[in-house]
Amino acid sequence: MRQLWRVLAMIYGRTVCAFATKFIMSESPPSAVPEKTMPVVAQVGQRELLLAVQDGVITRQQAQALWARWASLASAVPQAPQPATVAPASGPRFSFTNTLYYFGGMVAIGAMSLFMRLSWDAFGAWGLMLLSAAYLLACLKVADHLKSRHLPIPAGILATLAVVLVPLLVWCFQHGMGWWPPGGPVSYSAYHTQINWRWLTLEFVTLAAGVVMLWRYRLPFMVMPIAITLWYLSMDVAHGLMVQGEHWDFYFMRDVTLVFGIATVAIALWVDARSRQAHEAEWRQDYAFWLYIFGTLMFWGGLSWRDSDSELGKAVYCLINLVLVFAGAAIGRRVFTVFGGLGVASYLGYLSYRVFGDSLGFAFVLTLLGLGVVALGIWWQRHEDDINAYFAAWLPAGLRPRQDL
């Protein structure tokens, strides 16, 4: 069953979240002059323009025009040579360098997992635990070095690899101490393929270690294994609560996953609001991205697997997905819009094939509806900034969508 849920997760690609360049506003105090007051000079950058857009002082088009004008004026004035500085990272992008980073990281994780699985017979539980601990410390050491060299993406990948090694350490320790509950999986590779309540100790320790390492390194990619572990935890908790013992209760597991999805999205909203309002640049990064991805996947998956015989229930399902679409526009999270759009499309498909499948007129109406959706998309693209600003006005400042000039 876990294979089915995880294949569903692989269908949906990961979106890329970009961050605005951050500048710190400084203000020069007026000099104490008896008869003249020196003018106050403030440095205004993209961050200040973004705040003005979010507060409704100016529009996004005006902010772009102002920034373009200032940039052209600055380029026309000869500038004195400045010492070389390293610009803060603006977030992950689909560049060739970043592709190499992530591809290399995935290959390293896969190779490490294969090596650890083949080494069980050769080293035993304690030997493999020591080897995994050495790998973990080496990854953290390299992550420290890369972060000091202002390379946050590869540093995040190495730190994430260290978090991925935590459940293997717990597995080896439990087997070495003889504390592994009898029955259940006999190979660590089953951790990613089989649902079983015996994995709960691995997941709780991984969550605790992931939070500690995230606080230590403050790299957003490290949230990914935490979000995946929450997803695994929802399935294994459901398995542990089943009254049928080792037998499967798909409907109970579906409902538990739905509840975990709602809780994960709520955590993502809280993390998102805190990070957007943070004063330190390190904490203003997008730590909620992976929580939104897997929280929405759990919620939407559990909701979509609920089969209702009532037409009203199916209409409510469509309405919930419409709410997801508009919620994604309001807070600037396309993952809501994508899953909500899939839900609305599936409901329209149900209407076309089951309810009105024999109606010739419905095919004509459905064609008009499709053309209307295309027209709505064109209109939405032309007025997207105003729509987002309208929805954002109803939200607290901490959940207003991130803008990128």
Domain ranges of the chain: 317-405
Query: If the chain, 405 residues long, is cut into consecutive pieces of 10 residues, what is the mean pLDDT of each piece?
Result: 43 33 34 42 66 69 73 58 40 60 73 68 84 92 92 89 92 91 83 90 96 93 93 91 68 91 95 87 89 95 85 90 87 88 85 67 73 81 76 70 51
One-letter amino acid of 103:
F
pLDDT score recorded for residue 85 = 37
Cα gap 31→45, rounded to integer Å: 24
Q: What is the pLDDT of residue 376?
A: 78
pLDDT of residue 48: 72
Cα gap 114→119, rounded to integer Å: 9
Distance in angstroms (rounded) separating the CA atoms of residues 180 and 168: 13
Instruction: Please check whether residue 61 is in contact with residue 82, taking contact to mean a CB–CB distance below 8 angstroms.
Output: no
- Give the pLDDT score at 331: 84
Distance separating alpha carbons of residues 149 and 383, to the nearest angstrom:
42
Beta-bridge partners for 42: 27
- Give tens-digit pLDDT for 279-294: 888 888 899 999 999 9
Q: How far is CA 33 from the centre of its chain?
A: 53
pLDDT score, position 38: 45
The pLDDT of residue 23 is: 30
Asked if residues 286 and 17 have their Cβ atoms less than 8 Å apart, the reply is: yes
Burial label for 8, CB within 10 Å (0-12, 13-18, 19+), is middle
Contact at 8 Å (CB) between 105 and 160? yes
Q: Using CA atoms, how far apart are residues 240 and 310, in angstroms rounded to an integer?
A: 31
Write down the pLDDT at residue 398: 66
Give the model's pLDDT for residue 96.
65
- What is the pLDDT, as a whole number, of residue 279? 84
